[in-house]
Structure 1
Amino acid sequence: MIRAAAVLAGLGVLTTAAQAETVRTRYGISLIGLPFGTATVSGTLEPQAYKIELQMKLTGLASILSGSKGAATATGALPGNHVSPTTYATTSSSGDITRTVRMSMVNNNVDQSEITPPWDPFPDRVPVTEADRRAIVDPMSALIMTVPGTGPVIGPAACERTIPVFDGAARFDVVLAFVGTRKVKTKGYAGDVAVCSVRYHPVAGHRANRPGTKFMADNKDMEAWLAPIGQSRIVVPYRISVATMIGTVVVEANQFEVSAGPQATVQAH
C-alpha cells in the first residue's frame, strides 16, 4: 500500500520561469468510499532542479488496524523537458516492520541502491537485471510530467506517455492514455483536468505467481486526473482511483497551494 501510494500520490512539478515555485498539495485517501488516510506532497521547484517530499498516514479505524505510515523524498535536475532524478529515499512502517529504501541515480541510471531489511527472496520473484536499472525514474519523480508542444495543456498531450519506474526493488511501467476532460473545484484550483486511463505493466522484481500481481497487471479500472500548475506546461495528480482486490482506493486533492518567489536553492545530490 505504501509503495503504491507513493507512486499514485507522487507530485510532478516543474517551472520554466526565472524564479522558484513552492507547491503543496493535500490529498484525502478513501477505500470503498470510506476515509482511509491523508497524504501531503510538497515541492520546491527551480528552473533546473526540484525537490519533492511526501508524508502519508492512515487515519481512523485503518490506523488502529494496521498503523501504516510512510514518507518519501526525491531530488533531481530538470535539463530542458527531461526529468533526471539524483536521489530517492522512502521509509514505510506497517505493524512491527519498518523498511527503508535509498537510491542514487546518474543520467537516469541507478548508481547505488539499498533496501533495509531486504525483501524476502521468494522463488517466483522475477530477477532484476542491470538493464532494468537503466533509463528509469524513481516513484516520486515518476509523475513529473511536462506537456510537450504548444497546444492545450489539458488535453491528449497531458496523458499520452509511458513512465519507466524503478523503486529499488521492482521495475514496472505506468502507461497513461487520454480519456477526456472534466471540470473540478477544490481549495486553490477550479478548472479543467485531463482524465487518463492508467495501466500497470510489471517488468522485474515482482512475484510472478502472486494473485495481486496478476490482478494489477490485468486491472483496467485505474484513472489519473491531471491538473495544471501555474503558467508552466506542467500537470500534477488531482485525483487517482485504483481498483484493488479489497475495493477501490481513491486519492483526491482537497487543497492546492502554489506560491512563487525569488529563486531558492534546491540541493540535488
Structure 2
Amino acid sequence: MAPVAASAQGRLEARYEASLAGIQVGKGSWVIDISDDQFSASASGGSTGLLKAVAGGSGTSAAQGRMVNGQFAPVNYTATLTTDKKSETIRIQLTGGSVKESSIEPEPEPTPERIPVTEAQRHGVVDPMTGSLVRVPGTADPVGPEACKSNAAIFDGRMRYDLRLDYKRLETVSAKGYQGPVVVCAIAFRPIAGYVPDRPAIKYLIAQRNMEVWLAPIAGTRVLVPYKVLVPTPVGMAALEATQFVSTATVRTTAKTQ
C-alpha cells in the first residue's frame, strides 16, 4: 500500500430562528456535509409562538449529490411540508443538471392560470437546497464580492425561477460557533414558469429590491451558505438568522494501491 491521499472536507451544523417584525415565528436546523466527491444537506423546522397557535406547520428537506470538478451536481431532493390542514411531499431526481423525474404527493388540483413548465425549462437547473450553496472559485478569500456573482436556476418541483445575487457590502457577525466576516448580497427573484402571474405574493417578490442574503463560510471548503436572510414584507421585516453556526474542517484519507 502506498501513502494515503488526503482531501479536505467540511461539515456545518447550524440552527436558525425565523422572525416577522421582530417577533419569533419559527426555528430550524441545517446540517451540511461536503467532500471532494459528494455532498449532502438536510434541514428541518417548524412554526413557534403565536404563529404556531394560529397556523402551525413543520417541514423537512434534504438533498444529496456529487461534486464534479468542484461544482455541485445534485441527484436527489425531497421536501415535506405538514400543516394542520394538509401534508405534501415533493420529490425530484436529477442527472447532469436536468430533472429526470419529479412528483408532488398528493397530486395537487390543476390550476389553469399556472404557466406550465416546459421540458426545456427542466434542464440546467438545481433544487432549492443545492441552490442555496454557493461555491466560490479561485484561491482568494471566498468571503468577498466574488461570492455574489452567483446566479441560480432553480426548480422546486412546482416552479422554475432564477435567483440573481449582487454584491452589497461586508459585515461582521457573531453566533455560537462563528465570529467573523460575512458577505452581503442583494437577491433578485425572477419567476420563469410554474407560477400564477396574478398572485400578489409573486408580484411582490418580483418588485422587491431590498432582499438580502448574508453568506458565511463552511470551514475546509470554498462554500458559503446563508447565515441570515432578510425579506421586507407589508407587515414588517421577515428574517431568518443563525443562532448557531458550527463548521469544522476534516481530512479524509484514502489508501492508494501501487
TM-score when normalising by structure 1? 0.88
Deviation of 1:81 after TM superposition, in Å, equals 2.5
Greater strand share, structure number: 2
- Residue in structure 1 matched with residue 256 of structure 2 by the alignment: none
Larger radius of gyration: 2
**Residue 137 of structure 1, aligned match among 126, 130, 152:** 126
CA distances 1:40-59 after superposition (whole Å, capped 9, x unpaired): 00012221101110001111
Give 1:156's aligned amino acid: P
Letter aligned with residue 170 of structure 2: T
Instruction: Provide the rounded CA distance (Å) in 1 between the counterparts of 2:73 and 2:120.
Output: 17
Residue 156 of structure 2 is matched in structure 1 by 167
Match of residue 118 from structure 1: 107
Show structure 1 runs of 5+ residues with no match. Answer: 1-16, 265-269
Q: Which amino acid aligns with 1:223?
A: E
CA offset at residue 211 of structure 1? 1.2
Stretch of structure 1 that moved more, 146-155 or 255-264: 255-264
Matched to 1:142, the amino acid is G
Distance 2:235 2:92 in 1: 31
The one of 52, 76, 88 aligned to 2:65: 76
1:155 is displaced (CA, Å) by 1.4
Q: How does 1:207-246 map to 2 (within 5 A)?
A: 207-246=196-235
Q: Which amino acid aligns with 1:89?
A: T
Any residues of structure 2 matched to 1:6-155 within 5 Å, and which? 18-155=7-144
Whether the 8 Å contact between 2:220 and 2:250 is mirrored in structure 1 is no
**What residue number does 1:12 align with?**
none
Deviations 1:128-178 (A, max 9, x none): 100111110001111221112233312110111210000011000011000
Q: Cα deviations across residues 104-137 of structure 1 (Å, max 9, x unaligned)?
A: 1000101111101233322221111001111100
Q: CA deviation at 1:231?
A: 3.7
Indicate the residue corresponding to 1:259 in structure 2.
Answer: 248
Deviations 1:199-230 (A, max 9, x none): 11000001111111111111112000011121
2:10–2:220 CA contact under 8 A, matched in 1: no
SS in 2 for 1:18: strand
Please, what TM-score do these two structures have when normalized by structure 2? 0.92
Which shifted more, 74-83 or 253-262?
Answer: 253-262
Give distance in 2, aligned partners of 1:241 and 1:118: 32
Provide the rounded CA distance (Å) in 2 between the counterparts of 1:129 and 1:245: 33
